[in-house]
Structure 1
Amino acid sequence: MKNNYVVTTSFQYMIECTCPSPDHTFIIDVHKGDIITVTEEKKYVDSLGWLALVLINDYRFYMYIQELEDFVSEGKIFSVMDLDLKINYLQYKVNETLDSLDKNNFSFYAKELAKLKEIQESAAVY
């Protein structure tokens, strides 16, 4: 089973080769709305830890699992399910603030909802 993550904040990622030659690194641009697919293929490298095979755009490479967890905790990426849940929650909050005529919170929740819906629409998994 593959796990898909939607990029919510653009960033650059440096791909490091786990081979003995240290000069095999390059940087890819990861854009808001891109999909990161984490496959079931994993490997363990002594002194480095666990890596998972990921697919981003046209790239296939191994990424440290800890880095993926860091991206999730920093809010740079959301799982597809988490994105759907967040959108559902924000839609509820927008409706709630409309019912209570709370202009300040309505504006905040509506902007957040619009941002996430834009990301959702640009993602290729929908």
Structure 2
Amino acid sequence: MVKHFITVQSFFHQIDCFCPDGDHSEVIKINKGDVIKIINERKYINGVGWYFLIEHNSQNSFFAALSDLDYYHSQGLLLSIIDIELTLNYLNFQVDHALDNDDELEFIDVSNKIIESDKLKKKLVASLKSNKPKTMSV
């Protein structure tokens, strides 16, 4: 399971509360470029479904419904490193196509998308490296 994602567009997420009074529900804004890490801790709520512990920018933690995470990913709001690699591969193909057709406007547009995707990739990779466990040298 992919555990690290980066947001490519800002959105709001409703944090569910399962207390009897339900007063703890709140909305959190997840900004473009934020890193989302899915922690192995999860729980099942009868009648609602699976919830996974999410770490937002290595600061905030909250539980999010699996259905919400699936929705954000399917809408292209959250991308994994694999998603970004596939996007970059396709964009490089589009650059080659624009060069073959001498289409300067398409070349500029696609080049800007490559630059933006590469920035997101570097930020996600940096986050992945900072979360790796340290090994002891002997």
TM-score (normalizing by structure 2) = 0.78
1:70 to partner: Cα distance: 0.3
Q: Deviations over 1:68-119 (max 9, x none)?
A: 0000111111112111221122122212321331334324422332332343
Change (3 A) 1:59 1:53: same
The residue that corresponds to 1:125 in the other structure is 127
The residue that corresponds to 2:92 in the other structure is 91
Paired residues of 2:2 and 2:80 also in contact (CA < 8 A): no
**Alpha-carbon separation, structure 1, partners of 2:114 and 2:13:** 27
The residue that corresponds to 2:56 in the other structure is 56
Secondary structure in structure 2 of the residue aligned to 1:50: strand
The answer to whether the aligner puts 1:8 opposite 2:16 as a matched pair is no
Change (3 A) 1:83 1:94: same
**Alpha-carbon separation, structure 2, partners of 1:2 and 1:86:** 17
TM-score (normalizing by structure 1) = 0.85
Residue type matched to 1:97 in 2?
Answer: A
Secondary structure in structure 1 of the residue aligned to 2:121: helix
Secondary structure in structure 2 of the residue aligned to 1:114: helix
1:31 to partner: Cα distance: 0.9
Deviates more, 1:12-21 or 1:53-62: 12-21
Deviates more, 1:30-39 or 1:92-101: 92-101
Deviates more, 1:8-17 or 1:111-120: 111-120
**Aligned sequence identity (%):** 29
CA-atom RMSD in angstroms: 2.0
In structure 1, runs of 5+ residues without a counterpart are none
In structure 2, runs of 5+ residues without a counterpart are 129-138
**Alpha-carbon separation, structure 2, partners of 1:11 and 1:122:** 19
**Alpha-carbon separation, structure 1, partners of 2:85 and 2:34:** 16
Q: Deviations over 1:37-82 (max 9, x none)?
A: 1122221100111111111121111100000000011111111211
User: How many residues matched?
Assistant: 126
